[in-house]
A and B are shown apart, each in its own frame.
Chain A
């Protein structure tokens, strides 16, 4: 539909599945608009030519349609439209006199500033002069415009354009149209495939009886059992917390990461399935060796090149459920996750809110009671041909909006310079889970390293070593 906004006529489109899901969960769980901010910076040893970088940013806004997405309302309906251009020149911020920790904190604070989300630009870039002779640039964006993949892609596109302008790399390939990808996605609503997906998930939900497995150990399930007077309750009401959020980061070494990626290659399994098996062992250990483990998996639903190069927000969640006995080997558990993923990936376009509704219809739990204490995401390395001296001297840093919607959300990335795995644990501070999270990461790491040094080791043996 066409709509006049600020005196100009725009073609407006409905929100896609991910945007709808993200917006409504924000409304349901927190009143903080900034809970959907994504802050990220790219940093380099040495100076950047900010004049050339400013040209690169202008070109990036031109090439990446999704970077110009705005939101509007028509009655109770939320719509999106694309600004025809964005010619802003980013502000240069000099943080070079600060310590590295102070500079980090300053940038981190920007990420918690809420956007005016209606009929207004949903990102901004700042150029950074940093301590220790570093420089870089930062983006703060709203999740309904870009997810972490798109924000990263946008930062890389600026870099590619900058290097091309400096004659250090060839011109990057064209990007793809966000609107074209959006129209394809919107065709899913009401389709036969959507009907089949509902039937698939209904069947999955009918055939699995999950139990809440927590990173705070079983205390919370016990608490909710007492609160509801239902000793057989299997879910807990952990959503809706209004609390300050924070992030703890952990890193594997490049060598430990290589052990995991080599194991994946040798056994033809994927890295995320190994990570999920590590998380599964840690949760089992935290919950009296429970074998029935559930958590939410965030999916970056980008399969086609159109989807991969058109940006926007495509994330959706599915519940990863598994119940395997302790006699099962680590490798077989990884394969079990791979098989489950293969089964559910075909049906992963269904809005997660609908999945929660289907689960609630079956279980008749109190509203907002769930089985998954943790959200989990893995971001595969963004394949990018960069000159070696750039690649070896750059860093991609993710900041916290300090207003998490979820009790615990684990994002796992590869560090650009050495491929090492970095774990961001974003959590609600009111629960004071810091020590538990350190233990959770330690258990996850130990499980993965034991399992990838001997794939035949059983889950029971790993759990014996964690307790």
Chain B
């Protein structure tokens, strides 16, 4: 899953695959701003066939938070 997510992230921000770790923060470590982030989540929704409600956004700070949420949708 991390590999797939990394591919998606690399469409949005200038990072190398090794920059993406579960503990990486979207904003500070990967350089997402709010607009990139929301747009990227649409890509994640399409890729994994899930819906990420607004109420969940406040819990998504790190890559691990997002992976856990995707897992919980399975």
Asked if B57 is an interface residue, CB under 8 A from chain A, the answer is yes
Docked CA distance A235–B7 (Å): 46
Q: Which residue of B lies closest to A349 (CB)?
A: B39
Whether A345 pairs with B39 at a CB distance below 8 angstroms is: yes
Contact segment of A4-12, A65-73, A81-89, A300-308: A300-308
Number of chain A residues whose Cβ lies closer than 8 Å to a Cβ of chain B: 21
* A270-B33 contact, Cβ under 8 Å, with A305-B12, A346-B42: yes
Q: Which residues, 1 to 26 on B, are CB-close (under 8 Å) to A?
A: 10-14
Whether A342 pairs with B38 at a CB distance below 8 angstroms is: yes
Whether A342 pairs with B34 at a CB distance below 8 angstroms is: yes
Q: Which residue of A lies closest to B55 (CB)?
A: A339
Q: Which residues, 190 to 209 on A, are CB-close (under 8 Å) to B?
A: none
Q: Which residues of B contact A348 (CB under 8 A)?
A: 35
Nearest-neighbour CB distance to chain A for B6, whole angstroms, equals 14
Whether A345 pairs with B34 at a CB distance below 8 angstroms is: yes
Nearest-neighbour CB distance to chain A for B34, whole angstroms, equals 5
Q: Report, as a range, how many residues of chain B touch the other chain.
A: 20 to 34
Asked if B61 is an interface residue, CB under 8 A from chain A, the answer is yes
Whether B39 pairs with A341 at a CB distance below 8 angstroms is: no
Q: Which residues, 295 to 314 on A, are CB-close (under 8 Å) to B?
A: 299-306
Convert A234-270 into 0s and 1s, putting 1 for each residue whose CB lies closer than 8 angstroms to a CB of B.
0000000000000000000000000000000100101
Whether A338 pairs with B34 at a CB distance below 8 angstroms is: yes
Whether B11 pairs with A305 at a CB distance below 8 angstroms is: yes
Q: Which residues of B contact A303 (CB under 8 A)?
A: 12, 35-36, 38-40
A→B interface (CB under 8 Å): 265, 268, 270, 299-306, 338-339, 341-343, 345-346, 348, 380, 383
Query: What are 14 residue pairs bridging A and B, where the CB atoms are less than 8 Å apart in the complex?
Result: A265-B28, A270-B34, A299-B35, A300-B35, A303-B35, A303-B39, A305-B11, A305-B12, A339-B58, A342-B34, A342-B54, A345-B34, A345-B35, A346-B38
Known: A341-B34, A342-B54. 20 other contacts (CB 8 A): A270-B33, A270-B34, A299-B35, A301-B35, A303-B12, A303-B36, A303-B38, A303-B39, A304-B39, A305-B11, A305-B14, A306-B11, A338-B34, A342-B57, A345-B34, A345-B38, A346-B39, A346-B42, A348-B35, A383-B31
